[in-house]
């Protein structure tokens, strides 16, 4: 699976969001791409070059580097409190060559301007409301099935075409 452009990863707790992103981070890291992570859970190991729970420190590191995989775990928490900071990351990050991934439990926790700056969507089990919201934002048919996914399953929408169901626990 080739991921290009920013990504939004959403779904209920324990559905597999972090597992997916950690695997992707490992692939990027193994290919020589620096990985920068903002997470409320610093004790949780990431295959990353830099991990912090401080949004200001995170942004300094992000904008002092180029061509990194930039991950915001629990983006719903950070986006609400640091909306302007997250918007800057979504709109200007690609100008530094960054590929950003925003992980959240609910789509509506993420500012719409951040959502629509994401080319890719990894939709884990979510409410029908969130599935409809994302279908509109990503102009994608087939996302309404996101409310019926099992743990580990997600619909991967990589910018165009139809979403593809994948299982991250396999």
Domains in the chain, please, with CATH? 7-123 (3.40.50.300)
Per residue in 6-45, pLDDT (tens digit) is 999 999 999 999 999 999 999 999 999 999 999 988 777 9
Strands (E), 29-152: 35-38, 50-52, 69-72, 99-104, 120-123
Q: Which residue in 134, 141, 130, 129 sits closest to 118, CA to CA?
A: 134
Q: Of 133, 75, 85, 140, nearest to 109 (Cα)?
A: 75
Give the model confidence (pLDDT) of 122-143 as tens digits: 999 999 999 999 999 998 888 9
Q: What is the model's pLDDT at position 160?
A: 80
The Cα-based distances of 83 to 49, 55, 109 in angstroms read 25, 11, 11
Give the pairing of strands 153-158 and 120-123: antiparallel
What whole-number percentage of the chain has pLDDT above 70?
97
Confidence of residue 4 (pLDDT cuts 50, 70, 90): confident
Tokens for 62?
């992000």
Residue keyed to tokens 């990353």? 48
Q: Residues 67-88: what's their mean pLDDT?
A: 82
Our CA dihedral for 99, 70, 31, 152, rounded to 10 degrees, sits at -90
80 has pLDDT over 70: no
- CA of residue 27 relative to chain centroid, distance: 15
- pTM, full prediction: 0.94
Q: How confident is the model at residue 95 (pLDDT cuts 50, 70, 90)?
A: confident
């Amino acid at each position: 699976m080739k991921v290009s452009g920013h990504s939004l990863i959403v779904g209920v707790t324990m559905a597999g969001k972090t597992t997916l992103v950690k695997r992707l981070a490992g692939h990027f890291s193994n290919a020589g791409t620096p990985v920068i992570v903002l997470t409320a859970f610093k004790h949780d190991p990431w295959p990353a070059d830099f991990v912090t729970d401080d949004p200001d420190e995170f942004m300094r590191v992000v904008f002092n580097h180029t061509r990194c995989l930039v991950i915001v775990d629990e983006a719903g928490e950070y986006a609400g409190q640091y909306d302007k900071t997250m918007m800057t990351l979504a709109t200007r990050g690609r100008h530094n060559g960054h590929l950003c991934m925003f992980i959240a439990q609910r789509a509506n926790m993420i500012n719409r301007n951040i959502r629509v700056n994401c080319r890719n969507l990894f939709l884990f089990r979510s409410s029908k409301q969130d599935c409809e919201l994302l279908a509109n934002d990503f102009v994608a048919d087939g996302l309404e099935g996101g409310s019926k996914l099992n743990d580990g399953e997600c619909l991967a929408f990589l910018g165009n075409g139809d979403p593809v169901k994948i299982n991250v626990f396999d």
